[in-house]
Amino acid sequence: MREEAVRYLRCPHCSDAMTMADGTLRCSLKHSFDVAKQGYVNLLRGAARFSADTADMVTDRADFLAAGHYAPIAESLAALARESAPVSGDPGCVVDIGGGTGYYHARVVSELSGREGILLDISKFAARRAARAHPRISAVVADAWDRLPFGDRSASVVLNVFAPRNPAELRRVLRREGVLLVVTPRPDHLRELVDALGLMRVDEQKDERLADQFAGHFTEVARQGLHSTMALDHKALPQLVGMGPNAWHQQGGQLAQRVSLLPEPCDVTLSVTLTAYRPLG
């Protein structure tokens, strides 16, 4: 946890500002939070609403992303951040909601020099890795569906990549001239694997539901589609399944059998939408 990042954080119990000394964050009401030896801080204020990614899921994600299969997403997101991030006034922090291992966050923070990055994820296993993802990233365990542990209008850029979205809270923490960058899967994302490996299908109405979710909080200012083909071997395929929500619906032996029936390498569609939003009001 970087001292430079603490000024953007707020106590999850009383929303007071915090300071850090001797490896502990404290507010004026004496709520305290120890920084773990792995570098992250846990600011959960109660039981999370959803299950956190397990150590195995996080390892699968780290290995799959390190192989570069989703590098086009990271590069496109960094370019969009560079084009849309505010350039005047207090730089604010770069927040990643549900940021996992910090793969995308690190690429964006590298593009936006001098800004503090703060990544939130509900999984302590993800936070451990995120704390090492970039020298200017601080990792926090927190629930994206709860009140976010940030001061009002503290962020200049907020990232949301395949992660939960709480529009009212995202709007609260974002500066008026700030930008929210959202990455969502398109209906044909991973289409070759849906039936072959029993994956969940992407909702055909996902774009419409996202627009309805953000109405009254944000206005869309830019959108771009990203479509390419990944050549995945039989090591990458189970990693891809195991790193996300599909992992909760799979049995290891059955997945291995299904993967063995696919060609190697297997051509798989990468298809996502990147959307930039400005807060209303």
Of 121, 140, 116, nearest to 25 (Cα)?
140
Contact 140, 2 (CB under 8 A): no
Residue 196: the pLDDT is: 95
CA distance linking residue 240 with residue 38, whole number of Å: 26
**Domains of the chain in sequence order:** 3-279 (3.40.50.150)
Residue 110: the pLDDT is: 97
pLDDT tens profile 64-89: 999 999 999 999 999 999 999 998 77
Query: 15-19, 89-93, 106-110 — which is least confidently predicted?
Result: 89-93
Residue 87: the pLDDT is: 84
Residue 205: the pLDDT is: 81
CA distance linking residue 104 with residue 113, whole number of Å: 15
Write the Ramachandran bin of 68: left for phi over 0, alpha for psi from -120 to 50, otherwise beta: left
Torsion of CA 119, 124, 126, 132, to 10 degrees: 70
Contact 144, 112 (CB under 8 A): no
Tell me how far apart the 2 most distant CA atoms of the chain are, in Å: 60
Q: What is the mean pLDDT of the chain?
A: 94
pLDDT tens profile 192-206: 999 999 898 888 887
Residue 167: the pLDDT is: 96
Higher local confidence (pLDDT), 15 or 90: 15
CA distance linking residue 28 with residue 240, whole number of Å: 44
Does the structure show a pLDDT above 80 at 178?
yes
pLDDT tens profile 223-279: 999 999 999 999 999 999 999 988 887 776 899 999 999 999 999 999 999 999 999
Residue 90: the pLDDT is: 78
Classify 86 as helix, strand or coil.
coil
Query: 86-95, 135-144, 261-270 — which is least confidently predicted?
Result: 86-95
Does the structure show a pLDDT above 80 at 16?
yes
Contact 193, 255 (CB under 8 A): no
- What length is written for the chain? 281
Q: Which residues sit opposite 218 in a β-bridge?
A: 279
Residue 251: the pLDDT is: 72
Contact 156, 175 (CB under 8 A): yes
CA-based Rg of the chain, rounded to a whole angstrom?
Answer: 19
Contact 136, 2 (CB under 8 A): yes
